Amino acid sequence: MTPIQAFFLGLIQGLTEFLPVSSSGHLEIAKALFGLDLTGKESLTFDVVVHAGTALSTIVVFRKDIGKIISGLLKFQWNAETKFALFIVLSMVPAGIVGLCFEEEISALFEGQLLLIGVTLTITGFLLFLADKARVTDKEVKGWDALIIGLAQAVAILPGISRSGSTIATSVLLGVDRAKAARFSFLMVLPIILGKALLDAKDIVAGEAVGADVSPFALILGLLAAFFSGIMACNWMLSIVKRSQLKYFSFYCFALAVIVVISQFI
């Protein structure tokens, strides 16, 4: 992997982690365009770095919310912050189970299979289109909502199914206020991103991942690209959800799916 390729992959990761168009699907498409076949330590190391970049961008954008949650937990009182933290933990359960048990099998199934990614991008597009048609409310996230949103996040392990798109769309279809849905969606993934990065880093340090190394310069470029593009995309997405403009991303997903599918028959 060259530094330029690392930069563009980091840029794609940062943008598509928050925009509802599937980061994993876009990364697979980008790798195919670059002719990259990342495996073993090279792939794992790069994944850790770019996911760390998007995690840091989430922390920067939601630093005040995270501070309130931590402050509420430290008070050992049942309040709005501790309730919100509990719902985040609840939403993590389905994705945690699927990720630990089936992530490698699913990733292997979709690796390089752009036709399948075209199908899942179409599903993402339909979800986003339906979410824009949902009525506007001021409802907070409830316990059952958190669990159902967590199931949507678990399904989003499939490349082509947008994590942010599926969780925000599911929240809005459940009647949750749009701004609160986006806030919950972005904060609920933070512990999972950090946890996965730590597990992958452990495998790298333990030597369980084998393969070529990525140059430190390429990793730094990937990290910075994911971090700064993530901040921009996260703030942009919050504004988009409030204005009920998800349908434009559904059109993008439909168009990209058509291009991907056609490319497989040319």
Alpha-carbon span 190 to 233, nearest angstrom: 15
Q: Identify the residue with better confidence: 193 or 14.
A: 14
DSSP 139-189: BPP-HHHHHHHHHHHHHTTSTTS-HHHHHHHHHHHTTB-HHHHHHHHHHHT
DSSP 8-state code for residue 214: P
Task: Give me the mean pLDDT over the 59-83 stretch.
Answer: 83
Q: What are phi and psi of 176, to 5 degrees?
A: -75, 140
Q: What is the pLDDT of residues 157-190, one digit of tens each?
A: 887 888 888 999 999 999 898 888 888 888 888 8
DSSP 86-151: HHHHHHHHHHHHHHHHHHHHHHHHHTT-HHHHHHHHHHHHHHHHHHHHSPP--BPP-HHHHHHHHH
Q: What is the pLDDT of residues 210-227, one digit of tens each?
A: 445 667 888 889 899 999
Q: What is the pLDDT of residues 37-63, one digit of tens each?
A: 655 556 667 778 888 888 899 999 999
